[in-house]
Amino acid sequence: METDKGVVLATERYGSAESWKYVSKDGVMERRRDGSEGHSGGNSVFGVFKSVFLPQGYPESVSDDYLQYQFWDTMQAFSSSLSGTLATQASLRGVGVGNQEATVAAATVTWLLKDGTGMLGRILFAWRKGSKLDSEAKKWRLFADVLNDIAMFMEILAPYFPACFTFIVCTAGIFKSIVGVAGGATRAALTVHQARRDNMADISAKDGSQETLVNLAGLLVSLILIPLVTDNPVLTLCLFFLLFLLLPQFVYSRCEPLVCYMLKLKTLRKHVIQLKGISLSFCSFCSPEDLELALKENSMPYLLGVRNGCVCVCLGPEASVSDEIRAMCQAVVLSNMLSSSNSREATGAAPKQQKGHWEMVHKSHKLMDAIFNPLLKGAEAAGWDMKRTLIDWDEWRVEWKTKSS
């Protein structure tokens, strides 16, 4: 392309931020910034900030919801930093800082007990709930935020109950250790979602830089707050509740109300589904006839059964991710069938000859044959990653023999 300023030989760009062109004029090739006439120094400052605190290649290298999530996460972290300052001051006062009658040994023992119980709590929580943190990342992320605020509130109140001080701070230490496990593990799951170029390490590192910047800002504000709240418990509690109630409530009301989310989980669990790849003995396969009924009209590498109103899924060893998703969808369909059948029976509108559970299972197979492939294609077209699943499957796998084999 030829212009009055020369012939453009090539162009290049750095992500979506800046672009250059190579221009040949009078036998000399020059490199010029594209649109440099309107380029201001403010943009270069923003570029440095972006390079320091945002992943390389932003915004193309991260998910579309990255900036929104990081903004609200930063607001929450700032609020938590200030609340943590109030809690730390109360804990120090509780162990005897400023009290001439307090001994160093007693304060050290209290602090060691607090740290020790926290370590035990971390181990126990990871043992009991570690496998849930991937499949229920949002739930445990919210849980960690709320539990962290409860722990800090307990630490603020602890000095006013000297007889129970050690017990209260140890309990708060357990809660904070759970927050550390749940928050860190779910953040890793969210990082996997946000990484669009397998750049999880870069996103995690920049998230650490953002958190450090927020903590520095919180530190500066805390230097102003500490003289105000010292020996002023009313102001301390007022500031804590302001940070605990107003800001988090605003965040959750804008993004996803916590109460509504918990109610939604309760509603989803009304129809119990065992989506864990459970043992064959747990399902209703009590005889060879039951197993034969489970295999009837079923060409999938999983079995469905019903036991005490609970839908059970038994996975075969060759079940793929697509098969797992189909099994989950079919279990939900079967659960709804059972719920509808129970409702008709309760209202007296059920037919005299109630359909058996196995007939519903067979009907669900036919329904999934008709709707699952379009459902899968629609989900992929909408941007869902259908090549992996975070369903909380257990390790049971079942192999069965058919008449033909």
What whole-number percentage of the chain has pLDDT above 70?
A: 81
- Residue 200, domain member (yes or no): yes
SS (H, E, C) 106-155: HHHHHHHHHHHHHHHHHHHHHHHHCCHHHHCHHHHHHHHHHHHHHHHHHH
Q: How far apart are CA 278 and CA 283, in angstroms?
A: 8
CA-wise closest residue to 159 among 250, 210, 97: 97
How high is the pLDDT of residue 350?
42
How high is the pLDDT of residue 404?
54
Mean pLDDT of the chain: 80
Q: What is the mean pLDDT of residues 132-144?
A: 83
The sign one gets for the Cα dihedral 349, 352, 357, 360 is negative
238/333 same-domain check: no
Query: What domain range is 128 assigned to?
Result: 66-268
First to last CA, the chain: 70
120/23 same-domain check: no
185/294 same-domain check: no
- Residue 12, domain member (yes or no): yes
Q: What is the mean pLDDT of residues 59-83?
A: 89
Question: Could you tell me the CA-to-CA distances from 346 to 182, 266, 350 in Å, in that order?
Answer: 41, 22, 8
3-state secondary structure of 70: helix
320/258 same-domain check: no
94/160 same-domain check: yes
How high is the pLDDT of residue 279?
64
200/236 same-domain check: yes
Please provide residue 225's backbone torsions phi and psi, each rounded to the nearest 5 degrees: -75, -35
CA-wise closest residue to 387 among 200, 201, 202, 192: 192
Q: Which residues pair with 21 in a beta bridge?
A: 11, 32
159/183 same-domain check: yes
290/325 same-domain check: yes
Q: Which residue has the higher pLDDT, 108 or 253?
A: 108
The total number of structural domains in the chain stands at 3
Q: Which residues pair with 273 in a beta bridge?
A: 311
- Residue 388, domain member (yes or no): no
Collect contacts of 252-259 with beta carbons under 8 A, ≥24 apart.
252/142, 254/72, 255/72, 256/138, 258/142, 258/146
pLDDT of 174 > 90? The answer is: yes
pTM above 0.85, yes or no: no
What pLDDT, in 10s, does the model give residues 159-172?
889 889 999 999 99
Q: What H or E segment, with its residue span, contains residue 12? A: strand 6-14
9/97 same-domain check: no
Range from 175-179, 256-260, 315-319 carrying the lowest mean pLDDT: 256-260
Q: What is the mean pLDDT of residues 102-117?
A: 87
3-state secondary structure of 19: strand
What pLDDT, in 10s, does the model give residues 190-209?
898 899 888 999 999 999 99
Range from 12-16, 132-136, 322-326, 363-367 carrying the lowest mean pLDDT: 12-16
Q: What is the mean pLDDT of residues 20-37?
A: 76
Exposure of 297 in the CB half-sphere (CA atoms within 13 A): 12
- Residue 367, domain member (yes or no): yes
Distance from the Cα of residue 160 to its chain's centroid: 36
List Cβ neighbours of 338 (8 Å cut-off, separation of 6 or more): 271, 306, 309, 311, 357, 360
How high is the pLDDT of residue 208?
92
- Residue 140, domain member (yes or no): yes
